[in-house]
Amino acid sequence: MKAYESTDVRNVALVGHGNSGKTTLAAGMLFAAGATNRLTRVDEGNTITDYDDEEIARKITISTSLAALEWKKKKLNVFDTPGFNLFMYDTKVAMAAADAALVVVDGVSGIEVQTEKVWEFANSYKLPRAILINRLDRERASFQRTLENVQEVFGRNCVPVQLPIGSERDFKGIVDLVTMKAWAYTPEGNGRGTEIPIPADIAEAAKTAHEALIEMIAEGRDDLMEEFFTNGTLPAEHISSGLHDAVKDDRLFPVLCGSALLNIGADLLLDFLFEFTPNPTEHPALKAMVGDHEEERAITDNDHVTAYVFKTVADPFAGRLSFFKVCSGVLKNDANLVCIRSRSTERLAHISVPFGKTPQPVTELHAGDIGVVAKLKDVLTGDTLCEKGDSIAFPKVEIPEPSIAYAIAAKSRNDEDRMGNAVARILEEDAGLRFYRDPQTKEFLLAGSGGQHVEIIVSRLKKRYNVEVELRAPKIPYRETIRGHADVHGRHKKQTGGHGQFGDCKIKMMPLERGGKFEFVNEIFGGAIPRQFVPAVEKGILEAAEKGYLAGYPVVDFKVVLYDGSYHDVDSSEMAFKLAGRKAFKLAMQQAKPALLEPIVKVEVIAPVEYAGDLMGDMNGRRGRISGMDTKGGTQMIKALVPMSEMLTYQNDLTSMTQGRASFAMEFSHYDFVPQQQADKIISAAAAARAGEVEEEE
């Protein structure tokens, strides 16, 4: 593919709820533009943008894929983004590199939960957007009903620029309200329509919609408003320029129509995107840290080369693939740039433009264009590349922390040897994953946005890297604490053939507030315990606390006051006082009303309003406390505090309750007491586990 000037490039993200037809739409646009020689289908597993094995098997988009096409001597970079809540973090990251968003809405279902989420992403980026009401060939599809739903949720500035000809199975064409021309489509038309007269049955509706569109365009500019009041309309060139400016400035959100499956309207959509969405140079200046201060950087060829890496793919054959946006300058093949984070110099050999899994080589890329390059040594998602001597860093996209973690263990010794490297490769490409070792349970944990997310990673480990692992529900990191006070005497005395062991201490123990951890106070006076032995008492108490008292979980949020004791000139030692401290701790726990603590998480559930009652009932059944509710349009947000142990299966349960239309986020909040009934079960299970370990040792 040849290089294109910045003004001839468009970067458009296809976003929307899962199953709204984004991948099929991308396939139709590629076919209409001649980038592919046939219309590929999701159900056949041969689309350009859903090429990963897991995407083909599950028939959903898991991570953003890109493909470039040429249309009337210009270039469009299409971002096919995920629409299911588990993978929306990847959509957010990709939208940071786009210059416009096409929000795809199902003509039957209308606005859904993830539609609102991507709209919020676009708002946060101030991203111009248009709306495509898709799948109008389906039974019960309605352009008018869906348009009203769109305007109800997103506002009256969502204005139609197209009307459908026919409905459901009779949907055959489109009226362009900007040019007031009509187009008919046939299966043999390869996504390109034939001009026809506007059908008489919708001519009046088209005229009314055309006038409403002109009025909305004129509203945002004084010169156009004056012209509109004077003449009652606007000339064609002012309609086009006014609509372009209104889209660029986020004053209007045009609504189009089509059917991705039948490829109705693909050519009109491409024309619209090139004429009315902004090119990269019209994008607002990018904020960047230059040295230690923030500056705004315009997207222009007339500057030093900078590039922002917004996506990484760990390809088992090609190695690490880095997808980047050229933010300034003209990037030539074989350029040497510096990664600001790692300070490594990277040679960008064989730069290409993305086209699914088969990138196409290119000699140079202008500012605003999208490229991909393989085998950069030390470059990850969110990194900035710039010329030697420059120090420019574009901000990383903030994504939510993973919702749930599973314990992961290799199935065999060979798998164990390879697991670390394989997981590291996958972590490079998936910003929504975390892999770490729990210091308390000693388990390796793989955290993701949901159960399905983690299961997909396990499948990739096996298929890509031949590493088999087992997933287990993670051990809940319970804690132990005390509710009461204790005053005890801990003595360690042991006589052997030579020197004996003698350590003697008296301590008081009392609870601290949640989060207080541990406090040690030395109130020894008159040398009852020599100064050098006091730290040994504290160390003994801490070691005993780490092993727990009730169920083997660390004891937290308590205070110890060492106030008296005795020693022996010959037999006392640090070890003896450490053992005395341990004994004192165990005696104190018997008196101080020990109790179990469990982690409580903050949960936010976003779901259609009709499921609110069932979801709140379910939360109550999980011992959750509803802390807030907020209704926006047809969407309900429920906030709650829930014990972590009750949330391990929540992803699957939520999917079942809402037919996959809800999403949730979860993060740690605090620790709280476990109800006695649950505490007894946990303590019994821990005792049984310890008994089993003793039997195995014997």
The domain locations on the chain are: 9-282, 286-393, 404-472, 480-592, 597-677
Please report the pLDDT score of residue 309 as a whole number.
96
Is it true that domain 286-393 has CATH number 3.30.160.70?
no
- Each residue of 150-186: pLDDT tens digit? 999 999 999 999 999 999 999 999 999 999 999 999 9
What average pLDDT does the segment 238-266 reach?
93
Residues 6 or more apart whose Cβ sits within 8 Å of residue 333 = 348, 349, 350, 351, 362, 363, 364
Is 193:173 a contact under the CB 8 Å cutoff? yes
Whether the predicted pLDDT of 30 surpasses 90: yes
| Cα Rg of the chain, angstroms | 32
Beta bridge partners of 636: 607, 631
Q: What is the CATH number of domain 9-282?
A: 3.40.50.300
At 362 the three-state DSSP class reads: coil
Is it true that domain 404-472 has CATH number 3.20.20.70?
no
- Each residue of 581-633: pLDDT tens digit? 999 999 999 999 999 999 998 888 888 889 999 999 999 999 999 999 988 76
Confidence of residue 328 (pLDDT cuts 50, 70, 90): very high
Query: How many helices (H) and strands (E) in the chain?
Result: 16, 37
Stronger pLDDT, 229 or 61, i.e. the higher one:
61
Please report the pLDDT score of residue 226 as a whole number.
83
Distances (CA, A) of 510 to 37, 455, 593: 76, 45, 10
Stronger pLDDT, 416 or 64, i.e. the higher one:
64
Stronger pLDDT, 526 or 519, i.e. the higher one:
519
Confidence of residue 698 (pLDDT cuts 50, 70, 90): very low
Please report the pLDDT score of residue 559 as a whole number.
96
Q: What letter would DSSP give residue 48?
A: S
**pTM tops 0.85, yes or no:** no
Please calculate the CA angle 437-439-445 and round it to the nearest 5 degrees: 25
Please report the pLDDT score of residue 574 as a whole number.
92
- Each residue of 79-107: pLDDT tens digit? 999 998 888 899 999 999 999 999 999 99
Instruction: Record the tokens describing residue 246, joined without a space.
Output: 């209104």
Please report the pLDDT score of residue 273 as a whole number.
97
The b-or-e profile of 198-223 (16+ CB within 10 A means b, else e) is beeebeeebeebbeebbebbbbebee
Whether the predicted pLDDT of 148 surpasses 50: yes
Residues 6 or more apart whose Cβ sits within 8 Å of residue 412 = 468
Whether the predicted pLDDT of 130 surpasses 70: yes
Q: What is the CATH number of domain 597-677?
A: 3.30.70.240
What's the full length of the chain, in residues? 698
Average model confidence (pLDDT) for the chain? 90
Alpha helices in 220-314 (DSSP H): 222-231, 236-248, 266-276
Secondary element (H or E) of residue 671 = strand 663-673
Backbone angles phi, psi at 643, to 5 degrees: -60, 135
- Each residue of 637-654: pLDDT tens digit? 899 999 988 988 888 889
Q: Which stretch of 127-131, 202-206, 371-375, 656-660 has the lowest confidence by average pLDDT?
A: 656-660
Please report the pLDDT score of residue 652 as a whole number.
82
Beta bridge partners of 297: 286
Confidence of residue 219 (pLDDT cuts 50, 70, 90): confident
Please report the pLDDT score of residue 76 as a whole number.
97
Whether the predicted pLDDT of 695 surpasses 60: no
Is 80:24 a contact under the CB 8 Å cutoff? no
Alpha helices in 479-570 (DSSP H): 534-547
Q: What letter would DSSP give residue 572?
A: -
Please report the pLDDT score of residue 659 as a whole number.
82
Distances (CA, A) of 102 to 215, 248, 579, 580, 684: 23, 13, 68, 70, 56
Please report the pLDDT score of residue 438 as a whole number.
77
- Each residue of 346-389: pLDDT tens digit? 999 999 999 998 999 999 999 999 999 999 989 999 999 999 98
- Each residue of 425-434: pLDDT tens digit? 899 888 889 8
What average pLDDT does the segment 329-341 reach?
94
Is 604:626 a contact under the CB 8 Å cutoff? no
Please report the pLDDT score of residue 566 as a whole number.
93
Is it true that domain 480-592 has CATH number 3.30.230.10?
yes
Please report the pLDDT score of residue 420 as a whole number.
87
Whether the predicted pLDDT of 74 surpasses 80: yes
Confidence of residue 497 (pLDDT cuts 50, 70, 90): low
Q: Which stretch of 264-278, 541-555, 684-698 has the lowest confidence by average pLDDT?
A: 684-698
Matching fold, domains 404-472 and 597-677: yes
Max Cα-Cα span within the chain: 114
